[in-house]
Homo-oligomer: A and B are copies of this chain.
Amino acid sequence: MTRHDGRLADQLRPISVQRGFTRHAEGSYLYSSGNTIVLCTASIEPRVPPWLEGKGKGWVTAEYNMLPGSTRPRKPRDRGAKIDGRTTEIQRLIGRSLRAIVDLTALGEQMITVDCDVLQADGGTRTASITGAYLALHDAIESLRQQDLLPNADAAPIIDSVAAVSVGLVDGVALLDLDYQEDLVAAVDMNVVMTGKGRFVEVQGTGEEATFSEDELHALLGLARGGIKSLSELQQHELSR
């Protein structure tokens, strides 16, 4: 089977990363995976949500949004009373993924919000958001360290890295990193979030009007594990520059 863009079944799309794309947020990356482009900014605020006040812990949260011009046809802006269920799900997923690799106590009573705004969508926007959000979060926490704003100079709030990738079944074949065209025809769609050390954070496999066997589940998890290993190395490389 040949993929429409010539990739192998276990091949990621080309990644490009632009550090410091904007300057007000403490961390800011323009992250592209193929034709999916996400602006990930991490902003620090010297407060925590009300339910965390006085507990000596910080908080990391995320918001996700697709710009109207990121799709064709144009996607109406998510304004007004009705928030999109898909948007809510995705931003909760990003937030959980980041918190899984942060020691919130070592962060101290401050809050980091990572905004993932999709400038161009071609499938995999949620996994690109997680992978890019980790980079932005890293830089924001680094800026705290450099300004001596962490409660303990020796402690490391970041205890692992995190990245994500989608896998899916298309015509019965397990494929890595689906783009929009592949996503449309996939019978099963799975998003996997893993740390750099190879531990799972989230596994979300879904058949829309379809089901999958245990063997298919294992094939998909194997593909994902390989893809995330590459993404973790790329993150490592980018941050060490």
How many Å from the CB of A19 to the closest CB on chain B? 14
Q: Does A67 contact B (CB under 8 A)?
A: yes
Q: Does A41 contact B (CB under 8 A)?
A: yes
Residues of A within 8 A of B (CB): 21-25, 28, 35, 37, 39, 41-43, 45, 63, 65, 67-74, 77-83, 85, 88-89, 92, 96, 99-101, 104, 113, 115, 117, 119-121, 160, 190, 195, 199-214, 217, 221
> Do the beta carbons of B199 and A67 come within 8 Å of each other?
no
How many Å from the CB of A95 to the closest CB on chain B? 10
Residues of chain B lying within 8 A (CB to CB) of residue A200: 205, 207, 211-214, 217
- Tell me, in angstroms, the Cα distance from A96 to B121 when the chains sit together: 24
- Tell me, in angstroms, the Cα distance from A209 to B52 when the chains sit together: 15
Within the complex, which residue of B43, B77, B81 is in contact with A73, where a contact is CB–CB below 8 Å?
A: B43
How many Å from the CB of A44 to the closest CB on chain B? 8
> Do the beta carbons of B202 and A69 come within 8 Å of each other?
no
Residues of chain B lying within 8 A (CB to CB) of residue A39: 67, 69, 119
> Do the beta carbons of A25 and B89 come within 8 Å of each other?
no
Most buried by B among A35, A42, A65: A65
Residues of chain B lying within 8 A (CB to CB) of residue A100: 207-211
How many Å from the CB of A111 to the closest CB on chain B? 10
> Do the beta carbons of A67 and B115 come within 8 Å of each other?
yes
Residues of chain B lying within 8 A (CB to CB) of residue A203: 190, 203-205, 217
Residues of chain B lying within 8 A (CB to CB) of residue A206: 96, 201-202
How many Å from the CB of A24 to the closest CB on chain B? 4
Residues of chain B lying within 8 A (CB to CB) of residue A21: 119
